[in-house]
Amino acid sequence: MADETAWFKSSYSGDNTGAGCVSIAALTGHVGIRDSKQHHGPALVVPTASWSAFIREVRAGRLGR
């Protein structure tokens, strides 16, 4: 999918206790999302436009918990 160097830990993942950490990779036309603790585990891949819309909704507080 993406070279290991393409992945970065989300700045919203919190401290390094391992709770709720996600890694993101910018792919051509898509974004990869995975559990930071499972480097070789599954990843969710979504179109860049969908990821951007999701982030807008989160920032606007429209998704709740």
Sequential DSSP letters for 5-62: GGEEE-TTS-STT-TT-EEEEEETTEEEEEETT-TTS-EEEEEHHHHHHHHHHHHTT-
pLDDT computed for residue 37 by the predictor: 84
pLDDT at 18 over 60: no
pLDDT tens digit string along 20-38?
Answer: 788 999 999 999 999 888 8
What was the pLDDT predicted at 25?
Answer: 93
pTM value surpassing 0.75:
no
Q: What is the pLDDT of residue 12?
A: 67
Band the pLDDT of 63: cuts 50, 70, 90: confident
